[in-house]
């Protein structure tokens, strides 16, 4: 099992319930493909480095999980088409 971190940038133009549903859906995807979530870090509303889809601010979430090597590709393919997800990135965390 490898350790990964999924960074999700969610639109600030939606209600709190919708935003929570987007994060829950991301967590469900991780678990669906055999991942074990170890930590969810909600950073809150932050200013974007540059304007994306006419938005200057968004909510940042970091989901740390353990999974097999094939899981990140499957998760990314599903997150890519999710509504209200502006940007996403999965990175592998090496043992330090």
38-88 tens-digit pLDDT: 999 999 999 999 999 999 999 999 999 999 999 999 999 999 999 999 999
Give the whole-angstrom CA distance, residue 47 versus residue 15: 18
Nearest Cα residue to 82 out of 5, 11, 4, 3: 11
Helix (H) or strand (E) holding 7: strand 2-11
| Predicted model pTM | 0.91
**Confidence label for 94 from pLDDT (cuts 50, 70 and 90):** confident
What are the boundaries of each domain within the chain?
2-93
Give the whole-angstrom CA distance, residue 7 versus residue 64: 9
Domain 2-93 has CATH 3.30.70.60: yes
Q: What is the dihedral angle through the alpha carbons of 61, 63, 74, 14, rounded to the nearest 10 degrees?
A: -30
């Amino acid at each position: 099992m490898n350790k990964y971190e999924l960074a999700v940038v969610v639109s600030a133009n939606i209600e709190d319930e919708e935003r929570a549903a987007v994060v829950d859906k991301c967590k469900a995807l991780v678990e669906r493909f055999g991942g074990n979530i170890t930590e969810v870090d909600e950073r809150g509303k932050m200013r974007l480095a540059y304007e994306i889809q006419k938005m200057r601010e968004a909510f940042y979430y970091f989901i740390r999980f353990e999974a097999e090597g094939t899981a990140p590709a499957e998760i990314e393919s599903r997150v890519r088409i999710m509504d209200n997800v502006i940007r996403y990135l999965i990175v592998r965390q090496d043992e330090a």
